[in-house]
Amino acid sequence: RALALTIDYVKERKAFGKAIIDFQNTQFKLAELKTEATIGRVFYNDCVARHINGGLDPVTASMAKYWLSDLQGKVVDECLQLHGGYGYMNEYPIARMFRDARVQRIYGGTNEIMKLLIGRSL
């Protein structure tokens, strides 16, 4: 959702007389975020399928928890950056997403604990 909101925003917001989406840097950043979000979704869907079939092991679950929550934080942070100063204002949904993304790396076992569980399995 953060990426979709950001794409809509940069299509409307103008800087130096043109839409922000028309800048090469913005296009490159959005391409990177779209790619990473798609890869994350594929990994997530695979984990869900494994869980439904009873085959999601604790190590893979730990990898999903830490990596996907880190990815969420990264994507939302980059999306907030593309909103500029408005992104940090409570009136914009991206500000709430930014705050909410941070706690994902903490509850349910911190990401450091997830990495410890993965490391012990090696």
Measured at the alpha carbon of residue 19, what is the angle toward residues 18 and 24, in degrees to the nearest 5? 95
pLDDT in tens, 101-115: 999 999 999 999 999
Helix (H, G, I), strand (E, B) or coil at 75: helix
Please give the helix or strand (H or E) that residue 15 lies within, else none: strand 14-15
Print the domain residue range for 103.
25-120
Global pTM reads 0.91
Q: pLDDT of 81-107, one tens digit each?
A: 999 998 989 999 999 999 999 999 999
Q: Where are the alpha helices (DSSP H) in 53-110?
A: 58-82, 93-104
* 17 assigned to some structural domain: no
Q: Which residues contact 58 (CB under 8 A, 6 or more apart)?
A: 117
* Residue 105 lies inside a defined structural domain of this protein: yes
Specify if 7 maps to a domain.
Answer: no
CA distance 36 to 80: 16
| Residue 92: inside a domain | yes
Q: Quote the CA–CA distance of 70 and 105 in Å, as a whole number.
A: 7
Domains identified in the chain, total number? 1
Per-residue pLDDT of the chain (122 residues; tens, 9 = 90+): 999 999 999 999 999 999 999 999 999 999 999 999 999 999 999 999 999 999 999 999 999 999 999 999 999 999 999 999 989 899 999 999 999 999 999 999 999 999 999 999 99
Q: Does residue 9 lie in a domain region? A: no
Q: Indicate whether 38 belongs to any domain.
A: yes
Contacts of 90 (CB under 8 A, 6+ apart): 96
Would residue 11 count as lying in a domain? no
Would you say residue 71 lies in a domain?
A: yes
Check which CATH number belongs to the domain holding 116 and give it.
1.20.140.10
| Cα dihedral: 45, 47, 48, 50 (round 10) | 120
